[in-house]
Structure 1
Amino acid sequence: MSKLWQARFFTTVNHLRELPNTTVPEIAFAGRSNAGKSTSINILCNQKGLAFASKTPGRTQHINFFSIGGAHVAMHRKDPTKVDEIQAMLVDLPGYGYAEVSGNTKLYWQRLLGDYVQQREQLAALVLIMDSRRPFTDLDIQMLEWFAPTGKPIHCILTKVDKLTRSEATTVLRQAQAKLDSYVDEDGEGFPFTVQLFSALKRVGLEEATAKIVELAGLAEDDAAAQAERIDTPDEESDDASED
């Protein structure tokens, strides 16, 4: 079972001063409204209603945190999460669909998103959700360029590939990789940007996305360490048998 399936709502914030006082890695999900961000989070976490999409694009103004560890899905939603057992956070950032909102609200969101992705020390990586039919809009590029100077990884998920032919999907993926490869630092070195195809409807790319997010959150090492411990630590029966 994927560790992402343990995801559980932790808190919601509307100002940077309200960010949780935790030190675990955070993986933030960003994307334009209607790109399929909420749907992607829900299918990755195997939970229908974990992340909610606003009925009006661009209206969701909060940053929502989902904990991994410290609780399990079967627990009652009112049971407290054991904060000291949290291993990582998934962070759902407001969708940047600005068509229906005022200028002041746009500026507020830009400041909130920009400050979070540029300054949050716990933020380990960004997952950028883009509609495969319309990737790299101006706002997507703005998010890339906000985050790139941190030197942290960005994994781009190109959603709704079920709407494309196989040939179109191959072309989109190749063009997206070329776009990401065009970003280099002051020394001419490429940034740690990766990209994949995804379809929530057809479950295309689900395993790939899961593995990447688990890796970025440091949970893969956790799993490997736990497995090694189980192998290296003999049980009582083994001890008895060796003594005989």
Structure 2
Amino acid sequence: MKKIKKLLLLFIMSSSFYAHCFIDDQLFQALVDNNVSQLEDGLLEGSSPNARDSSGHTLLHWAALSRNIPALTLLLEHGADINASGQEIALSIFEFKDDCPSEYKEQLLRRVIPFYPSTFSSYGIVLNNRKNFMVVLHDQDTIPSFAQSPGNSNNKLTYEQLSTSPCFKESHPQIQVFSKLTPLHWAILSQDIEVVAFLIAHGARPDALCRLSNNTNANMITWAQHLSTPEMASFIKKTSSPAKPVR
């Protein structure tokens, strides 16, 4: 009888876990679909505004990366943690050749859904035309499996194909693992100053540090200088500077 009770308890716990993951995935899917109404319905039904994906990053992280201010506003209204820090995530940085046509870069993004968070595996793709590189965010131990954009189901693009593109300077990307990234870090990566300003105005900390895989810390200005635009780095520097005393 005790063994049956233990098995029953284990079944209930596992069922609860998978039900919770399913509900969270519905919230993440609402973000992917840019369906703010569906996102709101889930939150009103009691889903957590701090739901996390497979790498420990929240809905707010993904809303910031996708430059979705309406979703950011809704999540904050429901109590999302604006300074939530994620677990480890890998950034694969693909540097373009100088003569790579802009049409080719845009074609890469048209073939896949640019960001796809879930509780099982996640990825996001960000193109930086100013600095001529592309970043793929993905789980540290998982090769991204890209979701195909509508109309491209027969035009598969794998991570391996991406790595061997003739438009990249190197055959393999630079891979760096980070942890303790906040939604503000991801907003900076999106290169959208409006989103960054929105988060800071609502309490995001521009002095937050992230951690590299060698256990060193990097500040927000360094993050912006390497992975965003000069304008973004300048903006973060201004917001991070202590206020001068009024005379």
Same fold (TM over 0.5): no
TM-score, length basis structure 1: 0.29
**Structure whose residues are more often strand by fraction:** 1
TM-score, length basis structure 2: 0.29
